[in-house]
Structures are given as C-alpha cells and as structure tokens.
Structure 1
C-alpha cells in the first residue's frame, strides 16, 4: 500500500477518535425549554414584583413624610362682637427664612397668631403679606426652630391626579386625607362674599383646621393651599368637595417664582 494512503488512513483514524472522545466527554447541553418552564418563570417574576410593591411605602406615606418637617399649626385669638374667640388652621414653611404660607381667612382679624413648628417650637407671628383676592397670606414668625425645612413646591396638576391634604381638621393635628383632583379652574364664593377663581377642586376630606394647609402630589410637593370647602348646608363640614389655590398663584405671596 502506498505511503500516502497509509498517512491518510492514520489521519482519518485520529480525527474519528477525537470526534468519538468529544462526543463521550462533552458536557450535557441545556435542557429543552417547555411551556411549563416558561409559565413557572413568569409566575416567579410576578410574585417577586408583587413582593417588592408590597414592601414599598404607599404614595400617601411618602407624601406625608416629605411634608412633615414643613407643616405648621396655626392658632389664633380674636374678639368678635365683644366675645373672645380662638381659631385653628394650618400652614407650611416655604422659605429658608421661615416664611409660612397659609390661607388669609385663617389669620385675618386675629389679635394674636401663634405658630407651632414640627419640632415643637412655638412662636408668635405676624402677617407679612396678603392676597385677599386669592385668600392667601404669609406669616413671619418671631422665633424659628433650630432647623428650618422649607417644603418643595410642585408644578401643575391634572384632573384625576392623586392628591393629599395635610392639616389639623377639627383639632386633630397632622392629619392626612387622600383623594384626586376633581376639576381645575373652579370659581367659588366663600364666606358668602369672597369670590375665588382658578381653584383646584379635589375630593380629599377637609374640615375646619385644614384651611391654609398644603395640598400635595404623590411626591410630597406642595401643589396648592387649601382654602375652602363646598357645603350647601353652610355647616363648614366636608361633603366631598374641597378647593385649593394653585401653588403657582399662592407662591407669589411668598416671593416664590411661578411654577
């Protein structure tokens, strides 16, 4: 047999032996993916997502935590027809200098105004500026807490957006209620005489003590200042409709730029 043929046979044998060895020793390939495997993987992914969502704080929780250090309790004293009266409302710190933004009707005509900050600091305050046409006022406290935390002001809202009203309804301090924006650009008459325009209408519960407090978006940004509620019985109790001055309007009283 010619030498060239012998060499060819040897090479063929070596190649065959190598192929056989690889076939015997190679690691097993991936298992065949079945529909059951796909369904199980998808189910596990959904379960992990549900667990993560359950562990995450609710929008209302985040909003409340964000506004907490900036929320103010406002207490007033006044004399009406010779009778001493006390009032309660809410406000929010909007500048590093301690300026408090609130509703004008909360403090209008008061002989004394006291603000209580989130850390417990109490101070007399005076009206620094007002916008009667928008029922907005700013207060200057005589004493500030050791740390002043201004709220973050938000932008505009749309109908259906979740919102949260934070204040002190009926003396229940630091209360949050949740709802949605029901309508925009509303005009209402409050206290039987004052017409307010371009208001945010919302359905989060508000009662006396909420006035002047912040209306928040889900990020805890102030999108409005609560100014009133609609009640055909004139009992000043909530029946499902509240109103807030948009922060783009209210913030102007505090020297804030338009939102």
Structure 2
C-alpha cells in the first residue's frame, strides 16, 4: 500500500509508538525475570554507616549506606560518609548498623583502607559476620543496562528499612565537566581536574543517605559501582541550584582496586 505524503507522518508516529511499546514490554521482562529474588539476596548485605557512643539512650546516627565484602567483616562505603570528626570526649566511634528495625545491631568499625581520589573507604567491623556481596566487571557495562541500588535514602528518617531503586545506565560521563568561564570553577572541581575519570550516570532519584549504596546488576546481583551523591553531584552540577534528579555512581573497578590493595578477594 502506498500512502500519500500528507499521511506519512501520522503513520510513522504510530509505528514508532508501537516500537516503543514493544521495547517497554521487553524491558518489563528484564525486571520480572527473578529481580525480586536478587533484591532478597542483596538486602542482608546492606548496612547503615554512622556513629555511636556509649552514653545510655543515645540514638543511632546514620550518615550513609555501605555493603559487606570479604569475609563478612568488612564494609565498603563512600569516604565522605566517614569524614565527619568524631567526638572523642564522649568516646564516639564509627559504627555499622545491621539487623532489622526491631532488632538493630551496632558493630563498632574502624577505617582499614581508603581511596580519597574516588571517594571510597573500606571499614573493618570485627564480629559483623554478614554475607558478603561480590564484585562484577564494571568495565563491560553498556549504556542501557538494567541496574539497581539498595540503601537508606534518608538515613534514619524512614527507619531501618533498606529501599531498592531500579536504574538504567544512562551514560559514562567525566566527573569534571568543562566550564565556560574560569569563575565557574569550584574548589572541588579544581582538585578533581588533575585526576579525571568516568563515572556512571543513572536515570534514578537518589538521596544523600544513598551515598555508599551498592550499584548492582539487576540480573546477577554483582556489584558494579557505588552511589555517590555528595562528591560527584557537587562537582558536576555546581551550577544547578535545584536537584536534577540524576544519580551518579563510582565505577566498581576502583572498588576492586581498593579491596585488592587491602588483601581482600573481591
């Protein structure tokens, strides 16, 4: 059948919409294929990272999210999560929180290794003994891959209930964007310029409490990145006054390097 010129655009629109619907249907199948089981496997390895002190009645302080690696007594999180100075007069210490809202468990932690360039830190929490997550190969990711992250988006505001977000890898983008004028450069951007690297840009909404959350493959549960809301967003979006709704993650290859430097099998 031959359509007249004036009728081509409507038909092209219809065919395009049908194609989009078909892609959406395939996308739904990706999520439906055992994704709930993957989330159930990941959640027991998600912890909150914060501080604690021995004073009776002191509530826990959540600063971010972390995930268990190695022998079950190590936790990876974002370095800025642990950067606040501790109050040694009250014997305040870093802590990892696990368990459930009704049975919250506190394990004292200490910094074992760090990578400040990529905003990563490895904590040792003796006696934690949780199931570790395993690292995947972040270098083989492609734009459009189905991913997810689990963490505590608003810290203790929502209680001790890990929240899972679905995400798509939207782009691999440099951590420092070129500025039109020198006056646009922030101190953080200047510090990052000598060591630029690519980060994962995601089409998902994340919050400061998500910093340190593992970014993992939706079909395998293997960790391929770490959510970072403070360092990356402030560097890339310093000129944006309102939240953009874009999330960023540090590629997992840098986590693997940190673990190997500490003698831990990723």
SS in 2 for 1:117: strand
Range moving further from structure 2, 163-172 or 209-218: 163-172
Deviation (angstroms), 1:107? 0.5
Deviations 1:93-131 (A, max 9, x none): 111141101100001134121101246432111111110
Establish whether residue 117 from structure 1 lines up as the match of residue 122 from structure 2: no
Q: Distance in 1 between matches of 2:167 and 2:211?
A: 16
Q: Extract structure 1 runs of 4+ deviating beyond 6 A.
A: 256-259
Q: Distance in 1 between matches of 2:187 and 2:52?
A: 22
Q: In the alignment, which residue of structure 2 is the partner of 1:205? A: 205
SS in 1 for 2:36: helix
Q: Distance in 2 between matches of 1:220 and 1:68?
A: 10
Establish whether residue 103 from structure 1 lines up as the match of residue 103 from structure 2: no
Q: Is the 8 A contact 2:73 2:126 kept in 1?
A: no
Deviation (angstroms), 1:153? 1.2
Q: Distance in 2 between matches of 1:211 and 1:150?
A: 19
Establish whether residue 165 from structure 1 lines up as the match of residue 165 from structure 2: no
Establish whether residue 131 from structure 1 lines up as the match of residue 130 from structure 2: no
Match of 2:42 among 67, 70, 94: 67
Which ranges in structure 2 are unaligned for 5 or more consecutive residues? 1-24, 54-60, 87-92, 178-185
Match of 2:164 among 176, 191, 197: 176
Q: Distance in 2 between matches of 1:241 and 1:73?
A: 22
Q: Distance in 2 between matches of 1:176 and 1:217?
A: 12
Q: In the alignment, which residue of structure 2 is the partner of 1:155? A: 137
Deviation (angstroms), 1:59? 5.1
Question: What's the TM-score, normalizing by structure 2?
Answer: 0.64
Range moving further from structure 2, 68-77 or 201-210: 68-77
How many equivalent pairs are there? 196
Cα 1:98–1:257 change in 2 (3 A) is closer
Q: Is the 8 A contact 1:122 1:143 kept in 2?
A: no
Deviation (angstroms), 1:251? 2.2
1:6-155 to structure 2, matched below 5 A, reads 57-58=32-33, 60-76=35-51, 87-111=62-86, 112-118=93-99, 120-145=104-129, 148-155=130-137
- Note the aligned Cα RMSD (angstroms): 3.1
Which ranges in structure 1 are unaligned for 5 or more consecutive residues? 1-49, 79-85
Deviation (angstroms), 1:63? 3.0
Q: Distance in 2 between matches of 1:134 and 1:57?
A: 33
Q: Distance in 1 between matches of 2:85 and 2:258?
A: 19
Q: In the alignment, which residue of structure 2 is the partner of 1:13? A: none
Q: Is the 8 A contact 1:121 1:144 kept in 2?
A: no
Larger strand percent: 1
1:208-223 to structure 2, matched below 5 A, reads 208-218=208-218, 219-223=220-224
Q: Distance in 1 between matches of 2:106 and 2:52?
A: 15
Q: Is the 8 A contact 2:70 2:265 kept in 1?
A: no
Q: Is the 8 A contact 1:215 1:224 kept in 2?
A: yes
Question: What's the TM-score, normalizing by structure 1?
Answer: 0.66
